[in-house]
Structure 1
Amino acid sequence: MATILQVHPADDAIVALSDLAAGSAPSLNGRSWTLREKIPAKQKFAAHDFAVGDLVTMYGVTVGRATQPIAEGALIHTHNVVHATSAFSGKQRDYVWTPPDVSKWQGRSFQGFKRSVGPAGTANYWLVIPLVFCENRNLAFMREALTRSLGYGKTSSYERFAQRLVEMHRAGATKAQMDPALLEEEKSAAEARVFKNIDGVKFLEHGLGCGGTRQDAQALCRLLAGYIHSSNVAGATILSLGCQHAQVSLLESEMAALYPKLEKPLLIYEQQKCKSERDMMADAIRDTFVHLAAANEQTREPCPLSDLIMAVECGGSDGFSGISANPAIGHTADLLAALGGAPVLSEFPELCGVEQSLSDRCVTAALAEKFVGLMRAYEGAAQACGSGFDANPSPGNIRDGLITDGIKSAGAAKKGGTSPIVDVLDYAEPIRQRGGLTLYCTPGNDVESTTALAGGGCNMMLFTTGLGTPTGNPVCPTLKISTNSDLAKRMPDIIDFDTGPIITGEKSVEQMGEEMLELVIATASGEYTPKAVALGQDDFLPWKRGVSL
């Protein structure tokens, strides 16, 4: 196994693939360096002496600037480097793409749910949506009424553990006798669903809908319209109070503007127009049940791989993210694009420093200008609040090697592969184009981003993590990809796929990308259940269009 890596020939920040001792002399491509201090795995050391103000290069792009002299072989970290990137403008050159060989997948399909409009679904859910936070109590009542009665809920191992502690307490047990080992492993729920072809009823609880600006209400309704239209959704039940900013009419107007050919049931209940809460809830529960029974008549059938709208996302990233998991997902994205599908890359604060290369990949100058405009407006809003994209890396990111937003972004962009960029979309706009990459404006916040991607139309999600995060989505199956094998072994309850063999040299990026595509197809067909789905990790967090990095 190699101990160090130079990601790009132009790089002068060298990555440690394992812990390197001070005084050791790792070598690469006929050159060696004597290390002046310990270099932990995932961190970088200087390939040459840096003077104050010298730029640091990684992934072939500028990612930082030296704030003090750095000797060759010394650790590059926040004490001696700050974020810096290169200038960018619109499309500067033509882009020629050589697609990967996809002959082995030609003619393949997945078992999905065909819709009358748009791509097929990889799942079949029913939604219950409050238009305002005032209806969250009624949402909770519907969740309580429907989840277990329809066979979608189960008593968690934690609840059983707590019940056992109560029994022991009543029997006079001491704390020492209440052994944590009594916590059982989670058991798979028995197949007890009333509606076998409905994957679940999902409840989109949120804290918005009133009290903010009218633009906030419009953005929320546009996002909710996208969830209703999602190919993974069979229909929806809407709960409205009646006096809030996010009016039923506003939701209907967004639906008509963005999804005029919607052909699925939409059940709407407005509490201030009902005789009582009891009457409204009885109607809502009964009608939802009846429509669930009708939706259950649809079964999975063969659908083309071009119907896969695949989000690529990262969270809890580390110094290996841009070397293993992200490039592997990027290859999967390229394979899907070559098959006519739609990979989608988001998190604009984590594209800082690679704007020019992305602009040049846009199929038209107009798309490049839209991307540049969104990036500049976003960073301008952050700077107006006294922040900026440079504040994006979290303490966990920095601790594990992502010391500047430039380094984080250059690695994060690898998730988008190399295919032409066929569309650039703002938050909550519908994803329309296939056969290439779509750039989608979202925050770097994991859940705000995944929430938007599912609302834009993604029916599958690949999510890389180096530190571990349980993030999932209510309607979009989310596969968790680890950047290193240690994480996969420590957190097997949340990790679906391990790209650690890339770090050890056992497998190539291309091999892992191909294996990942097979997992995507199995998941889209309902043959594999992602860990986040099994755990009920239904994260839903709309972006209130303020500054979020």
Structure 2
Amino acid sequence: MTEGKQPVRFGFGEVAVLPEPGDNAAIASRSLAEGSSIELGERTLTLRHAVPEGHRFVVRAVEQGAPLLSWSTPFARALRDLRPGDYVCTARSLDVLRSRGVSGLPSEPSAEDVPLEPYRLEESALRLGEQIDPVAVPATFRGFAREHGPAGTRNHVVVVGTTSRSGAFVTELARRFSGAAGAGLDGVVPVAHTEGGEDHAPNNLAFLLSALAGFLVHPNVGAVLVVDEPGSPVTGEHLREYLRAHGYPPLPPMHAFFTRRGSFADDLAAAAGVVAGWLEPMAAQARTERPVADLRIALQCGGSDAFSGITANPLAGAVAREVIRHGGAAVLAETDELIGAEGYVLENVRTADVARRFLAAIASFTERVGRHGHTAEGNPSGGNLYRGLYNIVLKSVGAARKRDRGLRLDDVIGYGEPLAGPGFTFMDSPGNDLESVAGEVAAGCNLIFFTTGNGSITNFPFVPTLKFVTTTPRYRLLRHEMDVDAGRFLTGTPMAELTAEVFAQTVRAASGEPTAGERAGHSQVSIWRDWKQTRPRTPVAVSLAAPAVSDDERDAPLPGIPIPVSTPDDGTRPVRLLAADGRAVPEHVALVLPTSLCSGQVALRIAERAGQQDWLGDTVSRVVALPHTEGCGASSGASEETYARIMLGCLTHPHVRFALLLEHGCEKTHNDYFRSRLVEAGADPARFGWAGIQRDGGIAAVTERVRAWFADAAAGLTAPVPVTGDLGSLAVGLEARGALTAATARALAETGHRIVAAGGTVLLSSRGGLLADETFRRAAFGAAQPVRPTLAHGQRPSAPGWHVMRAPSTDWLETATGLGACGAQLVLAHVAGGALTSPRLVPLVQVSAEADTLNRHGGDLDAALGGDAGTQARQVLDALVAVASGERHSRALAAGNVGFQVTRGLLGTSM
């Protein structure tokens, strides 16, 4: 966003939009300089400050305390008497603009947000209307006929992990069939997600089951393989029972349930054999003429701006209206992004009960986030504010325009609940784009309309997405990622013409024409994430130090002082390290760090290309990306603090030689956010690379920018050179999962003592299997008493020694991610009952003394243990030193059994 040029005179329609005639605030459709004159009818307005594109200025006088209106809805109150030409800005919007480097701003805000008041339903005033009249001759598209329900717009083989524990497996399995598309087969795709990874059933179990069940019977799924693991909180049998109990239609004829029981490689080979048998019959299936009545449209927005409610959302709503006129269905979602716009959504409803259920969904959502100390006011992201959506009211009244005024609200359903029939439906879901889309897909939507102001590039694996961008300049910048230029409405193209054009495009996309996202070839899934709190909390969004919230609950930093332990000096072991830039460490990596969920898969693709094309030569051991689900669409406050600490811990990890941050461009935690965080942490932002998918012009352009930065960063540098160190050079995460014998517990304690005695660091999880074991506690710390954390989650120690990291969950990947952010250079885990997934950033060394695990999962293990405690300790150290020295690769890392998952702590929730 830049300031305008020299002051000039404009016609109002050239530079501004008034959402509705009665509004007293207009939206600048381009950045305008201070002093610009704007002709509005017979009057001329003069701007007293520069007004950035998408921000508002007054067109009629507003007295102090009076409401400012957009779409005839009060969104703020004037802090003083405002005259035509005054810039409308709030304290929060000014803070965001300043953080992004915008200059020439007012020193004080001119308006303040209107407090959200619960909507009061007047049932006697409800309009119980009719749905829009159907067309005389319904249209058709070419789709895949299904025995039960509507036709598919695509025909995929889908491999679904029941929990996050299977995420790496289904991802690697689908990768084996990349390129296996053609004729009637659109490809093999994974559904890997973050849920169900703890040791108990999650609070979001109903949402998780409804989402997975809907995926299995989706019309775009021609064949499906369900993957689970023994002992998981959610298994294939749980899903089968859920399908039966809730009356879902039969699964596709080609389906199977696969339980992992062997090594990663052996199970991959077995599962691949099942999938391979489906490819030929899938490819033989053909499209046939199907009625447009079979289309189910998911209406979604992300990276919204001030024009979302003017161009893209009304256009998406108008095209959805036409689909409904042809007998189809459309689904509005994102509960918290309709708070403040309830009156508009309920202008025309089928029954009073539908209105009550809509408001009940809002009340339920409000109550749920309230348990975590949050309100809907925390929803707008930094990108929303930067581009003119000052608060949730403005965001909501714009988002609600995805319901065309001609449409009646027919039904209200829960998250992922199957659609009952045609018409216009609301589905309860968070404002988090990916989590909301997953629910709409599970409900049966076979085409997605995704509207965006900033240029969100989100795509779903087996449902095509048509992306509507709000302005023509943004469309041109991201033309390879966007499908529809809704900004043409601002430059004179009638909405009716755009609607007819995009309806035809919708039919072509449903018939198989690839969307921009499909051509780009990336996608991701995130299901409505679990939440920890089930009782009301004192609000903590404004002040993390709220007295009702304990340090543990908000994951506050700790002193980082090691546990005082008398450690016997048993000598040390030589370790081969790699020295460069004054650091001797086990490996040197290049890191591409996405600043939010929406840039995660692009970061992963860039890192893979960098490795395949050897961008950095021998200056690094490998190139790593860390895709995750955070940074946008989640609550702020304590969970954001933990997230930021984890990200900074990864950026400054001792293994990281080069690091580049990749922003999507409209998230809460964008590049500028992390620049500030790095400065606060005493790190120099100039050390890092910075790139933005939206700002740099899309995936291809940002990939080239990243390649160029890495080339410059590595220019003139030499390869790391081998040197000899010892155990004191290492920081090691130590963990146990599953049964643990007394001898093995003592062996792991001895391993830790050897590392600490040499001057190294050992990191334990507060909720891990080792600290839960009394034998280990006695051997490591000399007493059976519980041991308190010394570190917050992802916090770096202030001195080497024994440390315990606070862990808000038992999810293995969240634990491993936190240990890596704490500075662990390797994680060593004793496993019993099954192998674990390695964190992406640091190698996982897995050992076991349990006979059945050695028999079934020996191919995943880095060492087999046997004998007394002393013998096992030597075996553990042999494996650890071999991987640290590069003599042997971590088997999990080499197999591609990798992941990265950020905890939301005890107070985080989807927004």
Which bracket does the TM-score occupy, shorter chain normalised? 0.7 to 0.9
Which position in structure 2 is the counterpart of 1:166?
A: none
| 2:311 matched residue in structure 1 | 324
1:125 pairs with one of 142, 152, 156:
156
Give the SS at the match of 2:160.
Answer: strand
Counterpart for residue 691 of structure 2: none
1:65-100 deviations in whole A, cap 9, x for unaligned?
Answer: 334543432111223221445652334321446847
Q: Which residue does the alignment assign to 2:910?
A: 548
Higher relative contact order (CA 8 A, sep 6+): 1
The answer to whether structure 1 residue 94 and structure 2 residue 127 are counterparts is yes
**Structure 2 unmatched ranges of 5 or more:** 1-12, 91-108, 532-908
Q: Which residue among 499, 515, 522 is the counterpart of 1:513?
A: 499
2:278 match: secondary structure: helix
CA deviations on 1:96-119 (whole Å, 9 max, x unpaired) are 46847856xx34200000111111
Superposed displacement of residue 32, structure 1: 3.8
CA distance in 1, matches of 2:164, 2:134: 49
Q: How does 1:404-415 map to 2 (within 5 A)?
A: 404-415=391-402
8 A Cα contact 1:422 1:433, kept in partner: no
- 1:251 pairs with 229, 239, 242, which one? 239
Q: 1:219 — aligned with what?
A: 207
Query: Which letter does structure 1 place at the counterpart of 2:435?
Result: E
CA contact (8 A) 1:331 1:514 kept: no
Q: Where do residues 24-173 of structure 1 align in structure 2 (5 Å cutoff)?
A: 24-78=36-90, 79=109, 80-85=111-116, 87-90=118-121, 91=123, 92-96=125-129, 99=132, 102=135, 106-147=137-178, 151-152=179-180
User: Any idea what SS the aligned residue of 2:526 has?
Assistant: coil
- DSSP 3-state at the match of 1:262: coil
1:164 is matched with which residue?
none
Change (3 A) 1:98 1:421: closer
Cα shift at 1:24: 3.3
Matches of 2:482 and 2:379, distance apart in 1: 24
Partner of 1:318, secondary structure, is coil
The secondary structure found in structure 2 opposite 1:111 is strand
In 1: Cα distance, 2:470 partner to 2:488 partner: 9
* 1:534 aligned onto 2:523: no
Distance in 2, Cα, partners of 1:223 & 1:373: 21
Is 1:460 the counterpart of 2:447? The answer is yes
User: Structure 1 pair 215/293, CA: closer, same or farther in 2 (3 Å)?
Assistant: farther
CA distance, structure 2, for counterparts of residue 278 and residue 47 of structure 1: 67
Which position in structure 1 is the counterpart of 2:189? 202
Higher-Rg member (1/2): 2
> How many aligned residue pairs are there?
498
Aligned pair 1:304/2:291, yes or no? Answer: yes
CA distance in 2, matches of 1:204, 1:519: 27
Question: What SS does structure 2 have at the residue aligned with 1:50?
Answer: coil
**2:230 matched to which residue of 1?**
242
Could you report, residue by residue, the CA deviation over 1:163-190 in whole angstroms, capped at 9, with x for unpaired residues? Answer: xxxxxxxxxxxxxxxxxxxxxxxxxxxx
Q: Give yes or no for contact 1:116–1:263 (8 Å, CA) kept in 2.
A: no
User: Greater shift after overlay, 29-38 or 537-546?
Assistant: 29-38
2:150 counterpart SS class: coil
Could you tell which deviates more after superposition, 224-233 or 349-358? 349-358
1:352 to 339, 348, 354: 339
With over 3 angstroms needed to count, the CA separation of the structure-2 counterparts of 1:140 and 1:287, relative to structure 1, is: same
Deviation at 1:386, TM superposition (A): 2.7
What is the DSSP-based 3-state SS (H/G/I as helix, E as strand, rest coil) of the residue aligned with 2:482? Answer: coil
> How far apart, in 1, do the equivalents of 2:462 and 2:300 lie?
16
Q: Which residue of 1 aligns with 2:868?
A: none
| Matched-pair contact (CA < 8 Å) for 1:210–1:217 | no
Post-superposition Cα deviations, 1:187-212, rounded to whole Å, max 9, x if no partner, equal xxxxxx4x521101111112222315
| Residues in 2 aligned to 1:55 and 1:384: alpha-carbon distance in whole angstroms | 31
State the alpha-carbon separation in 1 of the partners of residues 292 and 501 from structure 2: 15
Partners of 1:348 and 1:83 in 2: CA distance? 19
Residue 484 of structure 1 deviates from its aligned partner by 0.7
**8 A Cα contact 2:167 2:191, kept in partner:** no
Q: Distance in 1 between matches of 2:145 and 2:371?
A: 46
Over the matched positions of the two proteins, sequence identity in percent amounts to 28
Q: Is the 8 A contact 2:129 2:349 kept in 1?
A: no
Task: Work out the CA distance in 2 between the residues paired with 1:230 and 1:295.
Answer: 15
Counterpart-to-counterpart distance in 2, 1:276 and 1:316? 42
Distance 2:27 2:223 in 1: 49
* Length-normalised TM-score, structure 1: 0.86
| Matches of 2:373 and 2:38, distance apart in 1 | 42
- Structure 1 residues 44, 276: closer, same or farther in 2, change over 3 A? closer
Contact 2:128 2:351 in 1 (8 A): no
Contact 1:115 1:121 in 2 (8 A): yes
**Contact kept in structure 2, 1:62 and 1:86, CA below 8 Å:** no
- Following superposition, the deviation at residue 29 of structure 1 comes to 4.4
Q: Note the 1:362-381 alignment, pairs <5 A.
A: 362-381=349-368
Equivalent residue, structure 1, for 2:257: 268
Displacement of 1:545 in angstroms is 4.7
Give the match's secondary structure for 2:14.
Answer: coil
Shift of 1:242: 1.4
Unaligned runs of at least 5 residues, structure 1: 153-192
Residue 3 and residue 282 in structure 1: after superposition, are their counterparts in 2 closer, same or farther (change >3 A)? closer
Is residue 62–residue 84 contact of structure 1 (8 Å, CA) maintained in 2?
no
Summarize the Cα distance change of 1:333–1:107 in structure 2 as closer, same or farther, 3 Å threshold: closer
Judge which range, 209-218 or 309-318, deviates more. Answer: 209-218
> How far has the Cα of 1:214 moved from its partner?
4.0
**Contact 2:298–2:330 (Cα < 8 Å) also in 1:** yes
Given that residues 84 and 406 in structure 1 are in contact (C-alpha distance below 8 angstroms), is that contact kept between their aligned partners in structure 2?
A: no
**Inter-partner Cα distance in structure 2 for 1:31 and 1:411:** 28
User: Is the Cα–Cα contact under 8 Å of residues 138 and 326 in structure 2 kept in the other structure?
Assistant: no
1:268 partner amino acid = F
1:273-329 CA distances to partner (integer Å, 9 max, x unpaired)? Answer: xx6655543332212221232233321000001111001111111111111111111
Q: Secondary structure at the match of 2:176?
A: helix
- Per mean C-alpha deviation after superposition, the further-off stretch among 354-363 and 16-25 is 16-25
Q: In structure 1, give the amino acid aligned to 2:127.
A: D
C-alpha spacing 1:416/1:251, structure 2 compared with 1 (3 Å): same
Structure 1 stretch 90-99 or stretch 469-478: which is displaced more? 90-99
